[in-house]
A and B are shown apart, each in its own frame.
Chain A
Amino acid sequence: MIPLSWYIIFAAILFCVGLYGALARRNALAILMGIELMLNATNVNLVAFWRYGTLAIRGQVFTLIVFAVAAAEAAVGLALIISIYRRRTTIAVDEINMMKW
């Protein structure tokens, strides 16, 4: 059986990839995808902890909830991005600085 740490290392690598995507990409869609990766890294962790017996059934339930939240977040995020695109014909985040002082 594959030890737990492998899963955790995998999840950490996946999270870092997602984080890098979220922080470094200029495309808002890519950022959104980075965020999905980070969420899924968390899901991997949750399922792994369930399988290795510390969280009982709650690990799976959390995972499902995260899926639902991720789907909702993606829907809202895409809607926002489309709306911004219609207004400003761009989705490059360094040009979207409306939240400045």
Chain B
Amino acid sequence: MQPEILTWLIPLPPILAFFLIVLWANRNNRLSHMLAVGAMLLSWGLAMVVFGMAISSEHLGQHPFASSIAWLQTGETYFNIGVLIDPLSAVALFFVAWTCLAIFVYSIGYHNFGKKRDPDDRVGLPPKAGGIDPMYARFFAFISLFAFGMLTLVVSDNLLLLFIGWEIMGLCSYLLIGFWYGKDSAKRAMIKAFITTRVGDVFMLLGLAYLYSETGTLNFRQILYNEEVLHTLAETPSVIAGFSTAGLIGLLLFMGTVGKSAQWPLHVWLPDAMEGPTPVSAMIHAATMVSAGVYLVLRFFPLLTAGWHEGLPLTPTLSTVAFIGAFTALFAATIALAQNDIKRVLAYSTISQLGYMVAAVGIGAYIAGAFHLITHAFFKALLFLGSGSVIHGMEHGVHASHKHVDAQDMFNMGGLRLKMPRTFWTFLIGGLALSGFPVLTAGFWSKDEILADAFANDHHAVFIVLALAAFLTAFYTMRQITLTFLGKPRSAAAEQAHESVWSMTAPLLVLAVFAVAAGWVGIPEGFPVLGGLLPNWFHEFVGGTLLEHPHVLSFTAVPLLTSVGVALTGLFLGWLVYRRVPAGAADPLTRPLGPIYRLLQNKYYFDELYDFLFVRPAYWFAETFIYRWIDRGLIDGILHGVGRTALRIGSFLRNAIDLPIVNGFGDAVGEGVKRAGSRFRVIQTGRVQEYLVVGLLFTGLLLSYVIFFQP
């Protein structure tokens, strides 16, 4: 079978499942999840076949699997849409298919399939006592649509189709964050996520339009694998001074990434998105949506770097990208230090790690960025699903102990390693991968590569910021693990927590394997002892996406020692500080950090700032300006004015014309006839003889006339 045809088929099963569930299967929970998981399994199978074909084909970069059809007539030419599998999309397809499948299977257990529906549960609210979710089928419909969006985005061969997939995911994330729409916080979170990402998307759409108007095509290969086009774009100055056309388009597209991948300053929506069910958090935060943003900048890497070579100073666009990435990496990591909600810590950690990738792209470390994207997808999905499993166990504990505590607050947990061994070990692996535990874990290799690249190309500021972020990452990860799993239970709920079902823990095991093994494909060849044992396949393969194969860095000890040092120190300190937190105690960091801790806990007051700067002015604008002034005052005023004028004209016509002239004439005729009748009726006496006299008189007159005047 030709790989192109298989590629066309990859996104289709989930959308079919979506329609089938929505239209016919939504009353049958078993059928719904069988459809969704079956469709995802089919997509996964197709994706694996295509991936297998991709890695076994020689020079995939020069000769990718591509196929397109004419879609829309644009003047004399056609706008083509199609599919493209080059090395970058092949590896993206790989991790998307795996994580999506894992999340689909996990969702079955997470939504308590097999349990009875609790009569107390209400539609639009999470189940209270472990009954099956009242909206079980709907959830699977939504995640199917979500998977369709992501797969479309990955296999598309042009920016427009990518944008379509991107927006489908935006819609689904809105629907899924607000899945439990009975909760006020979920409603607010869904709107916040939708509006915030929309800000980035508008810029992205501008970039798309600009790119189309400059090149006349949106096809990736025609723009990004074409030296001539890239050269022209890099040389032409854009409408904004100081930027080349390529730079400005790149920056606009990067704004889309900032929104979707929750980079500062549009990061605020992602922590709130935790209101959704945990598989949704995993999907949005690890496997799909936020990765899509980084995928976009990786995809447009040739455009971002057009006119720049390694060794030259960064262009304004690249500096912006690098700055935002590095800043976000550190900024989000500091916030994660002071969060107590197990999922919120992971949310900020995701923002931070995405910042890592963006920073890598900003300093031109293409391979390292792509590598971290993939390893991060695996271990972050693992962590999210693991945290979901923890919350699930805790909720069971809360229910069993009849004492209400917040099931997501890490300070209510502790000692869960004995109650939930499978979750604990997989979570530990994920956590170590996130902190970059040396040699063993995937996170170490990808993070190390970014640091090495930053160091080797003399981007010292970025290097230091990222190293600091890596230290904080290790610290808050160990804080999380220690608080959740180690020590003694700090609440009755934690004492009675129990391990989750197999449909939840099996995906954890699969993802844990990848969280370790995904790193082995990209071990740099210059690495002491281990280097060269396995070929650096990732570098070779993904490097083929670019026109110019990026060269291999020579090994230096400084970044390696740094990353090993910060990871181990961070982990150790995290354990040291949090190993003996008694029940009901505050965070041990509260006192030494003082006001800084409060600042961190409140996320630098960004929500409040945006509320003051944007939300309230928007409400004022809507409520006072548009509603009260424009709508009620101006538009209603005009309407009322028109109405009043019409009334006045009407009453003038009535009083001056209708009543006196028309009515007067009619009345005069009637009255006149009446009056004449009453005058003349006296001659009608009813006596026949008088009539006869009158008849005689007139006959006489007539005769006289005939006789005297008519000869």
Interface residues of A (CB under 8 A from B): 19, 22-24, 31, 93-94, 97-101
- A101 to B685: give the CA distance in the assembly, Å: 8
A1 CB to nearest chain B CB (Å): 28
Contact string against A for B residues 681-707, beta-carbon threshold 8 Å, 1 for contact and 0 otherwise = 100111111001100100000000000
Contact of B687 among A19, A22, A97, A101 (CB under 8 A): A97
The answer to whether residues A93 and B684 also contact, given A19-B696, A23-B696 and a CB cut-off of 8 A, is no
B685 CB to nearest chain A CB (Å): 6
Pair B689/A31 contact, Cβ less than 8 Å: yes
For chain B residues 647-705, which have a beta carbon within 8 Å of chain A?
681, 684-689, 692-693, 696
Q: B685 — which chain A residues lie within 8 A by C-beta?
A: 97, 100
- A101 to B687: give the CA distance in the assembly, Å: 11
Contact of A99 among B681, B686, B692 (CB under 8 A): B686
The answer to whether residues A98 and B689 also contact, given A19-B696, A23-B696 and a CB cut-off of 8 A, is no
- A93 to B688: give the CA distance in the assembly, Å: 8
Pair A98/B686 contact, Cβ less than 8 Å: yes
Can you list 11 pairs linking A and B with CB atoms under 8 Å apart? A19-B696, A22-B689, A23-B696, A24-B689, A94-B689, A97-B685, A97-B686, A97-B687, A99-B686, A99-B688, A100-B684
Q: A101 — which chain B residues lie within 8 A by C-beta?
A: 681, 684, 686
Pair A22/B684 contact, Cβ less than 8 Å: no
Q: B681 — which chain A residues lie within 8 A by C-beta?
A: 101
Q: A94 — which chain B residues lie within 8 A by C-beta?
A: 687, 689
- A71 to B420: give the CA distance in the assembly, Å: 136
User: Considering only CB atoms and an 8 Å cut-off, how many residues of chain B contact the other chain?
Assistant: 10
Pair B689/A93 contact, Cβ less than 8 Å: yes
B296 CB to nearest chain A CB (Å): 102
B691 CB to nearest chain A CB (Å): 9
- A97 to B684: give the CA distance in the assembly, Å: 10
Pair A23/B692 contact, Cβ less than 8 Å: yes
Q: A24 — which chain B residues lie within 8 A by C-beta?
A: 689
- A53 to B687: give the CA distance in the assembly, Å: 41
Chain A contact residues, majority secondary structure: helix
- A101 to B686: give the CA distance in the assembly, Å: 7
Q: A23 — which chain B residues lie within 8 A by C-beta?
A: 689, 692-693, 696
Given contacts A97-B686, A100-B684, A100-B686, 15 further A-B contacts (CB under 8 A): A22-B689, A22-B692, A23-B689, A23-B692, A23-B696, A24-B689, A31-B689, A94-B687, A94-B689, A97-B685, A98-B686, A99-B688, A101-B681, A101-B684, A101-B686
Interface residues of B (CB under 8 A from A): 681, 684-689, 692-693, 696
Most A-side CB within 10 Å, residue of B689, B692, B696: B689
CB-CB nearest in chain B for A24: B689
Question: What 7 A-B pairs come out closest when comparing CB atoms?
Answer: A100-B686, A97-B686, A99-B686, A101-B681, A101-B684, A23-B689, A23-B692
A31 CB to nearest chain B CB (Å): 7
CB-CB nearest in chain A for B684: A101
CB-CB nearest in chain B for A28: B688
CB-CB nearest in chain A for B693: A23
B381 CB to nearest chain A CB (Å): 108
B674 CB to nearest chain A CB (Å): 13
Q: B693 — which chain A residues lie within 8 A by C-beta?
A: 23
Q: A22 — which chain B residues lie within 8 A by C-beta?
A: 689, 692
- A70 to B608: give the CA distance in the assembly, Å: 121
- A22 to B695: give the CA distance in the assembly, Å: 13
B400 CB to nearest chain A CB (Å): 107
CB-CB nearest in chain B for A25: B689
Q: B684 — which chain A residues lie within 8 A by C-beta?
A: 100-101
- A24 to B688: give the CA distance in the assembly, Å: 11
Q: A100 — which chain B residues lie within 8 A by C-beta?
A: 684-686
B452 CB to nearest chain A CB (Å): 125
- A94 to B687: give the CA distance in the assembly, Å: 6
Q: A19 — which chain B residues lie within 8 A by C-beta?
A: 696
CB-CB nearest in chain A for B691: A99
CB-CB nearest in chain A for B682: A101
Q: B689 — which chain A residues lie within 8 A by C-beta?
A: 22-24, 31, 93-94
CB-CB nearest in chain B for A94: B687
Q: B696 — which chain A residues lie within 8 A by C-beta?
A: 19, 23
A8 CB to nearest chain B CB (Å): 15
CB-CB nearest in chain B for A100: B686
B97 CB to nearest chain A CB (Å): 107
CB-CB nearest in chain A for B688: A93
CB-CB nearest in chain A for B689: A23
- A64 to B688: give the CA distance in the assembly, Å: 28
Q: A93 — which chain B residues lie within 8 A by C-beta?
A: 687-689
- A101 to B693: give the CA distance in the assembly, Å: 19
CB-CB nearest in chain A for B678: A101
- A100 to B696: give the CA distance in the assembly, Å: 20
B492 CB to nearest chain A CB (Å): 110
A4 CB to nearest chain B CB (Å): 19
A78 CB to nearest chain B CB (Å): 16
A20 CB to nearest chain B CB (Å): 11
B680 CB to nearest chain A CB (Å): 10
A33 CB to nearest chain B CB (Å): 14
CB-CB nearest in chain B for A97: B686
- A19 to B688: give the CA distance in the assembly, Å: 13
Q: B688 — which chain A residues lie within 8 A by C-beta?
A: 93, 99
B689 CB to nearest chain A CB (Å): 5
- A24 to B689: give the CA distance in the assembly, Å: 8
B692 CB to nearest chain A CB (Å): 6
Q: A99 — which chain B residues lie within 8 A by C-beta?
A: 686, 688
B129 CB to nearest chain A CB (Å): 97
A62 CB to nearest chain B CB (Å): 20
- A94 to B686: give the CA distance in the assembly, Å: 9
Q: B687 — which chain A residues lie within 8 A by C-beta?
A: 93-94, 97
- A36 to B685: give the CA distance in the assembly, Å: 25
- A99 to B692: give the CA distance in the assembly, Å: 14
- A22 to B689: give the CA distance in the assembly, Å: 7
- A97 to B686: give the CA distance in the assembly, Å: 5
